[in-house]
Chain A
Amino acid sequence: MSILTHIFLWPLIAALMLVFVPRNYRVIIRVVALAATLASMVLAIIMFCQFVPGKSGYQFEQEIPWVDSLGISYHVGVDGLNVGLILMGAVVSFAAALCSWEIQTREKEFYILLLIMSGGILGAFASLDLFFFYFLHEFALVPTFIMIGVWGRGDRKNYATFQITLYLSIGALLALLGLIALYLKSGANTFDIPKLIAYVAANPMSLNAQNFVFPLLLFGFGILVSLWPFHSWAPLGYGSAPSPTAMIHAGVLKKFGLYGLIRIALPMMPQAAHHWMTILSWLCLGNILYIGWVAMRQRDLNLLIGNSSVAHMGFVFLGIASLNLIGITGAVVVMVAHGFLAALTFALSGYIYQKTGTLHMAELGGLCRPLRFIGTALVMAAMAGCGLPGFANFVGEVTVFFGAWKAFPAVITVLAVWGALVIGGIYMTRAVRTVLHGPAPDKFANLEDASLWRKFPYALLLVALFVFGFFPKLLTNQIVPDASKIVSIYQPATVAGANDRNPATVHAATIDASTRGFQAALDNGQTAIENQ
């Protein structure tokens, strides 16, 4: 039994157990939920440490035939692309479970749904079978709607529920169509992703087939990731969601679509990808700039955070769209980093809401004084949000910029950098200024700061951000080998691509060689050759 199975099965089993626990045994309910998520987090960390970067194929694999006639099998495994995501998902789930103390009503149902969410999405990330990949994500998605509907906050709760349900269902179903179409048109008659990739590599799909399937996947997954202009569900939904839900959804579930693009769409449909990625590169500017501007206008902290998390998705899309190793590596790093960050910000805003009863920025102010820890954490989160070094986000974003610079005409990268550095800076500092700085209203004079136990989730997430921000190699060394497998089919294309602007690189490489030794010279020489 693979460790992966344990990682995502424990929360589900716990959810099943909770069904039979009477609703008034609150302590037991919480303990079970925490224990399960903790277990999966510990297992995920172990898995992450045991993972051997660059080893060919998948690790911790397990395969059980499921529906033979359709070629569906239960197949889990990790490579560099999803190992980080699984770790992130497990950590965030645990943090979310910890943050669920803010839920006072119908705890039993809440914890059950929360466990379903975390277990399902971890399974989705772990699974190497198209069917289970989709199945488990959808399984994790449904509780989101119910949680927002039942435990949501704010007067637009119902509308938010309606909208998020509508959008995400459309997205998921489009993706489903795309996956089925992929399965049919590839002709491999299996849902097993590695087999599919191998098969398609051997006998590629026709251009028509690709151009039919790829948009379905792109926009299906895109809607799930709030790709501009299909984003309007996200801020509203997160604004009215209870914070644990927002944490898991914005942090983990949202990454599913991106992961799907990288894992499934890119390796199988190179030609279509080329055609669509240019479009995507402009759409993601919509995320980065447009949503950034929208975020500047927000008067509600949660809406601002929601918008900013939508804007961050733009960087991932940009990295994916660049279709080169640097960009995709960066994209994956941003996915992981943003997972932690989004969870952190929503947890913090949840705390503030719980203490002050409002997230309307005009009513807040000067919270750094009473809530010293929360305030500091929020400042850190804001800084991470506008891509400050030291946090994992910076690593990912800067890598994405390098990838995009290599792939696209300069203007795209220029605008993206503007969005990241300037616009991000503006709305984040505005938020800090209005919420944390300035004179504190008297009614907030003696709010109680987070107690030691409640500091834990925030600290956990911050530590994660710092660790990957200081030692990005922990992630990149695992990502690069497998990402390079994916981009390898794009290399001839990138030569054709708009990327031959530097004759001097070879020269540079030789100069470099004198300083950095022959190995480095070789690398740069290669890049130079690729770049021409």
Chain B
Amino acid sequence: MKLELLPWLVLFMPLAAAGIITLFTLHFKTISSFISIGAILAGFVLTIVFISANGWQPAAGQGYGGQPVPAGESICQWLSADGLNIDFGIKLDPLSLMMMLIVTGVGGAIHVYSRGYMADDTGMSRFFAELSLFTFSMLGIVMANNFIEMFIFWELVGVSSYLLIGFWFEKPSAGDAAKKAFIVNRLGDFGFLLGILMIWQWLGTLNFSGLQGPEALGPYATIAGLLIFCGAVGKSAQFPLHVWLPDAMEGPTPVSALIHAATMVAAGVYMLCRIFIVLNPPALEVVAYIGGFTALLAAVIAVQQNDIKRIIAYSTLSQLGYMVMSVGLNGRTPAMFHLTTHAFFKALLFLSAGSVIIGLHHEQDIWKMGGLKRKMPITFWTFLVGGLALSAIWPFSGFYSKDSILGNALARHDFEGSLLFAVGVFVAALTTFYIFRLFFVVFCGKEKSETASHAHESPIVMTGPLVILAIFAFVGGLIGVEGVYNRIFMPHPGGLETSASFASELFGPFARSPLASGLGTLAFIIGLGCAYALYAKADKDPLPEKLGGLATAMKNKFYFDEIYEATFVRAHDFIAAVCDGIDRWVVEGFCIGSIRGGADLTGRALRFLQTGNLQTYAFLFVIGVAVALYVILK
């Protein structure tokens, strides 16, 4: 068969799966799950086949109308009206192929895991349908070759995450969380669409292959860049639109793992790398600072959360902050590299947390857990691996990626770089601190509640994926991911480090940027130390009395929700109330009412001319004649 068709197949199989499940197998949970899992795993396999056959940089695909198309794209026209040509095509290059691998691979593992996690939920078919829909949309984002197509799938991942967050829609909190996620994402997309419009206006094309440097955008380059960035801010939950992600934890844990850790939230970073060329220095600066600030803010908040999933969610925020920061610092390879490793270990962490939650019958408060090391050994170990990878200690995958980010920041030798480097190191320490706080409280010490004491290990269908992901989280930094990204981001010979020996690869970071790696390790040690000192034996949180008001502020996420509630939502509600009032009272009440009443009254008044008295009639008749005479003859 023609290999060009494989990517299309990979893209559309999940959609087909979703369609089949919704239409036919809603009532057969098992079949549905197998269809969905089969679709995504087949996608994974096909992607590997394709890569092994065509390499990372496929040759020219095919277009419509016999037009030559750029390498690795195959296009068909979707819509065309004079200046507006929107294609539907797929763009295959190392970036997208690697993302496809991540989405299908990690996603596949999570699919399998969900088979166990959702086993006793009546809506499992619906769950898998929506999961497949998400996979389709995510692959679409990855493979899109133009802005509109990306925007389409951008919206689709939004809606599928909306559906999945609201999966347990009977829970009011779930419904609200879904709504919030959707609307906040919409805010981001608002900017994104405007950015697209500006790009189109200035470049006359929407295809990524037609993109040009910021100088082509004239005076509006910065605005355009930032507008596009808005999309990333919304999707990747960067400050100030970060508020939806923690609430999104209302969804089932696999969803949190897949969408809100591994793939969707990373789409923003991916998009930034995709359109990197149009961003000009000022825009990049903003990007970098936003990223850095988000990383810091989220890490600080995470320190005082007590919901196991929320802690990990905030850590996701802060890791995303790292990536965005790195993009802003012109380091796309580190960003994507960290995205990849983060996908592994964050998925791992979430799934482990999920297994804990299942083990404790949906108990999520860490202070009701404890001493699970013995009861859930596999989960314990996998979680430990995830935690170490997250807190970036050699030789775990996280170490390499985060180190390359810090190194890249340091390598700029300017104020911006150094400042953000410092932030990064501090955040690294915090990261270690909060993750091990979680770790100690949950797994060590003694049981802090009844449920904890009756916890049990999860079935193989769940632990299996855990182990696989754990392996990747461990070695993820050493399997040449970085090299693949370098192929497109810095295609000079120096970039191709796959040729280097394994040992140099293993210790590469220390050689390349000793300062970064050194400080990183130091940060880890400090964080771990503090965490151990405070939480190894604690059965209640000692920090609040130490920090006082700051702690409560951290606990309450620095009141962002409240602020938005008070400003954005209130404002809209107020305006809405005003408009409604005008509509009800002025337009409908006054205008219509007066017209109607006026006519009615005149009618009733005029009728009194008809007194029924002949004399009045004669009199009116004569008056009429008199007036007519007067008017005509004056």
Direct contact of A and B (CB under 8 A): yes
Residues of chain A having any CB pair with chain B under 8 Å = 162-163, 166, 229, 231-232, 236, 290-291, 293-294, 296-298, 324-326, 329-330, 366, 368-369, 376, 379, 383, 386, 388-390, 394-395, 398-399, 401-402, 405-406, 413-414, 417-418, 421-423, 425-426, 429-430, 432-433, 436-440, 472-473, 476, 479-480, 483-484, 501-505, 507-509, 511-512, 515-517, 519-520, 523-524, 526-528, 530-531
Q: Does B264 contact A (CB under 8 A)?
A: no
What residues on B are CB-neighbors of A423 within 8 Å? 572
Flag if A437 contacts B67 (CB, 8 Å). Answer: no
Partner of B212, one of A231, A232, A324, A511: A511
Whether, in the assembled complex, B216 has its beta carbon less than 8 Å from a beta carbon of chain A, the answer is: yes
Indicate whether A388 sits within 8 Å of B155 (C-beta atoms), given known contacts A166-B592, A232-B583, A508-B212. yes
Contact assessment for B217 and A504 in the assembled complex, using a CB-CB cutoff below 8 Å: yes
> B70-91 CB contact bits vs A (8 Å, 1 = yes)?
1000000111111111000000
**Residue contact A480 to B194, C-beta cutoff 8 Å:** no
CB-based nearest B residue for A286: B579
Given contacts A388-B155, A473-B77, contact A401 B82 (CB under 8 A): no
Contacts of A509 in B (CB 8 A): 204-205
State A412–B205 Cα separation when bound (angstroms). 22
Which B-chain residue is minimally distant from A428 (CB atoms)?
B182
Question: Contacts A296-B573, A517-B68: A504 and B169 contacting too (C-beta < 8 A)?
Answer: no
Q: A511-B212, A516-B67 are in contact. Are A472 and B190 (CB under 8 A)?
A: no
Q: A413 vs B182: C-alpha distance in the bound complex, in angstroms?
A: 22
Taking a contact as CB atoms under 8 Å apart, the answer to whether A401 and B197 are in contact is yes
Q: Which of A437, A505, A524 contacts B202 (CB 8 A)?
A: A505
* Residue pair B80, A480 in contact (C-beta under 8 Å): yes
Q: Which of B174, B202, B587, B596 contacts A508 (CB 8 A)?
A: B202
> B142 CB to closest chain A CB, in angstroms?
16
Question: How far apart are the CA atoms of A376 and B26 in the complex, in Å?
Answer: 13
A473 to B81, CA, bound (A): 10
Q: Is B542 an interface residue (CB 8 A)?
A: no
| A residues less than 8 Å from B530 (CB atoms) | none
Q: Are A389 and B156 in contact (CB under 8 A)?
A: yes
In the bound complex, do residue A504 and residue B203 qualify as a contact, i.e. CB atoms below 8 Å apart? yes
Contacts of B580 in A (CB 8 A): 293-294, 297-298
Known pairs A398-B148, A426-B183, A520-B85; A476 contacts B80 (CB<8 A): yes
B210 near A325: Cβ-Cβ < 8 Å = no
Check if B166 is an interface residue, CB within 8 A of chain A: yes
Other contacts beyond A509-B205, A515-B207, A516-B69: 11, CB < 8 A: A162-B596, A293-B578, A325-B82, A326-B84, A383-B159, A389-B155, A405-B200, A417-B190, A480-B81, A504-B216, A527-B83
Contact partner, B170, options A231, A366, A390, Cβ 8 Å: A366
Residues of A within 8 A of B217 (CB): 504
Q: How far is the CB of B300 from chain A (nearest CB, A)?
A: 29
Q: Are B216 and A508 in contact (CB under 8 A)?
A: yes
Residue of A nearest to B579 (CB): A293
Instruction: Flag if A527 contacts B82 (CB, 8 Å).
Output: yes
Task: Give the most central of B78, B187, B193: most A CB within 10 Å.
Answer: B193
**How far is it, in angstroms, between the C-alpha of A297 and the C-alpha of B575 when the chains are bound?**
10
Q: Does B576 contact A (CB under 8 A)?
A: yes
Q: Number of contact residues on B: which range applies?
A: 35 or more
Q: A232-B592, A508-B204 are in contact. Are A439 and B579 (CB under 8 A)?
A: no
Partner of B201, one of A166, A324, A476, A502: A502
Q: Is the CB of B67 within 8 A of A517?
A: yes
Please determine whether B587 and A229 come into contact, CB atoms closer than 8 angstroms.
yes
Taking a contact as CB atoms under 8 Å apart, the answer to whether B201 and A501 are in contact is yes
Q: How far is the CA of A510 from the CA of B610 in the complex (A)?
A: 82
Chain A nearest CB, measured from B480 CB (Å): 30
- A394–B170 Cα distance when bound, in Å, is 29
Of the candidates A232, A324, A508, the one having the most CB atoms from chain B within 10 angstroms of its own CB is: A508
Within 8 A of A (CB), among B143-165: 148, 151-153, 155-156, 159, 162-163
B186: interface (CB < 8 Å): yes
Chain A residues with Cβ below 8 Å from B155 are 388-389, 394
Contact B202 A418, beta carbon cutoff 8 Å: no
- Nearest CB in chain A to that of B205: its residue: A512
The SS class assigned to the A binding surface is helix
**Across the A-B interface, the 9 shortest Cβ-Cβ residue pairs:** A527-B83, A437-B175, A517-B67, A389-B152, A297-B580, A437-B169, A293-B576, A296-B576, A425-B186
Closest B residue to A405 by beta carbon equals: B197
- How far apart sit A291 and B170, CA to CA, in the bound complex (Å)? 30
In whole angstroms, how far apart are the Cα atoms of A421 and B588 in the complex? 28
A456 to chain B, nearest CB (A): 14
User: With a CB–CB cut-off of 8 A, which chain B residues contact A504?
Assistant: 202-203, 216-218
Decide yes or no: A290 and B579 within 8 Å by CB, A399-B79, A476-B79 being known contacts.
yes
The answer for the CA separation of A389 and B88 in the assembled complex, in Å, is 13
* A294 touching B583 in the complex, CB below 8 Å, given contacts A325-B81, A425-B186, A515-B207: yes
Contact among B176, B186, B204 for A433, CB-based, below 8 A: B176
Asked whether A399 lies within 8 Å of B579 as measured between CB atoms, the reply is no
Q: Is the Cβ of B572 less than 8 Å from the Cβ of A296?
A: yes
CB distance from A365 to the nearest CB of B (A): 9
Tell me the residues in window 525-574 of chain B with beta carbons closer than 8 Å to chain A beta carbons: 572-573
**Do residues B187 and A422 form an inter-chain contact, with CB atoms below 8 A?**
yes
A523 touches B82 (CB 8 A): yes
Bits for B170-189, please: 1 = Cβ < 8 Å to A, else 0. 10101110110011001101
Out of A329, A414, A515, A516, name the residue touching B81 (CB < 8 Å).
Answer: A329
B278 to chain A, nearest CB (A): 12
What chain A residues lie within 8 Å of B449 (beta carbons)? none
Please state if B83 and A421 are interface contacts (CB–CB under 8 Å). no
Q: How far is the CB of A435 from chain B (nearest CB, A)?
A: 11
Task: Please list 16 pairs of residues, one from A and one from B, whose beta carbons are closer than 8 Å in the complex, sorted by A's number.
Answer: A293-B575, A293-B578, A326-B82, A379-B163, A399-B84, A405-B201, A425-B186, A437-B178, A480-B82, A505-B204, A516-B210, A517-B68, A524-B204, A524-B205, A526-B82, A530-B83
Alpha-carbon distance between A437 and B177 when the two chains are bound, in angstroms? 11
List, in ascending order, chain B residues with CB within 8 A of A519's CB. Answer: 65, 67
**Residue B616 at the chain A interface, CB threshold 8 Å:** no
Which residue of A has the minimal Cβ distance to B210? A512
A508 pairs with B203, CB closer than 8 A: yes
| Residues in chain A near residue B187, CB distance under 8 A | 422
Q: Which of A425, A473, A507 makes the CB contact (< 8 A) with B183?
A: A425
Give the nearest-CB partner of A366 in chain B. B170
> From A523, which residue of chain B is reached at the shortest CB distance?
B85
Residues of B within 8 A of A369 (CB): 170
A436 vs B210: C-alpha distance in the bound complex, in angstroms?
Answer: 44
Contact A429 B182 (CB under 8 A): yes
Quote the shortest CB–CB distance from B607 to chain A (angstroms): 21
Point out the residues of chain B lying under 8 angstroms from A376, CB to CB: 22
Smallest CB–CB gap between B389 and chain A, Å? 36
Interface of chain B residues 605 through 627 with chain A (CB within 8 A): none
Pick the contact of B194 from A329, A386, A417, A527 — CB < 8 Å? A417
Given A476-B81, A507-B216, A515-B209, does the pair A388, B579 have CB atoms closer than 8 Å? no
Q: Which residues of B contact A480 (CB under 8 A)?
A: 80-82
Alpha-carbon gap, A512 to B212, bound state (A): 10
- 8 A Cβ contacts from B254-277 to A: none
From A162, A232, A426, A472, contact of B572 by CB (8 A): A426
On chain A, the residues within 8 Å of B163 by CB distance are 379
CB-defined contacts of B174 to chain A, threshold 8 Å: 437
Complex alpha-carbon distance, A402 and B198, angstroms = 10
Q: Are A406 and B182 in contact (CB under 8 A)?
A: no
Contact yes or no, B216 A422, CB < 8 A: no
B577 contacts partner chain A, Cβ-Cβ < 8 Å? yes
B595 to chain A, nearest CB (A): 8
Q: Hey, which chain B residues are within 8 Å of A430, CB to CB?
A: 179
Instruction: Report the minimum CB–CB distance from B67 to chain A (whole Å).
Output: 4
| Docked CA distance A386–B162 (Å) | 14
Q: Which chain A positions have C-beta within 8 A of B151?
A: 389, 398
Contacts of B176 in A (CB 8 A): 433
Q: How far is the CB of B598 from chain A (nearest CB, A)?
A: 13
Q: Does A433 lie within 8 Å of B175, measured CB to CB?
A: yes
Chain B residues near A436: list those with CB within 8 A.
169
